[in-house]
Amino acid sequence: MARGWGRSEEDLGAEKEEAREARAKGAGSLADAERETLRRGLKLSLARIEEQLGKVTNPVRRQALEAARSELLERLERL
């Protein structure tokens, strides 16, 4: 290998340390990203239920949709 092209032991150690720190930071961000994805999915489901409630005429179906809506609202509050 030509002179100056190799990496020293200090460089390799520093790169490993930086990678560890990036993974540690990424773990918190990943949890936030997963939570936001779940929140977005719940909101989409809630919007779909609201749409169906506007169209439904069957009282049993309406009751089921309202129960599902309340459950989704509770889950959103817990996030």
* pLDDT tens profile 18-38: 777 766 666 566 678 888 999
pLDDT given for residue 22 in this prediction: 66
Domain count, the chain: 1
Task: Give the structural domain span for 27.
Answer: 9-78
The yes-or-no verdict on residue 61 having pLDDT over 90 is: yes
The pLDDT of 54-74, averaged and rounded, is 95
| 33: in domain | yes
SS3 67: helix
**Averaged pLDDT of the chain:** 81
| 3: in domain | no
The yes-or-no verdict on residue 8 having pLDDT over 80 is: no
How far is it, in rounded angstroms, from Cα 65 to Cα 70? 9
Instruction: Work out whether the CA dihedral 34, 35, 40, 42 comes out positive or negative.
Output: positive
What percentage of the chain reaches a pLDDT higher than 70? Answer: 67
| 27: in domain | yes
Q: Is the pTM of this model over 0.85?
A: no
| 30: in domain | yes
47: enclosing H helix or E strand: helix 9-55
| 46: in domain | yes
What are 79's two structure tokens? 């996030």
| 28: in domain | yes
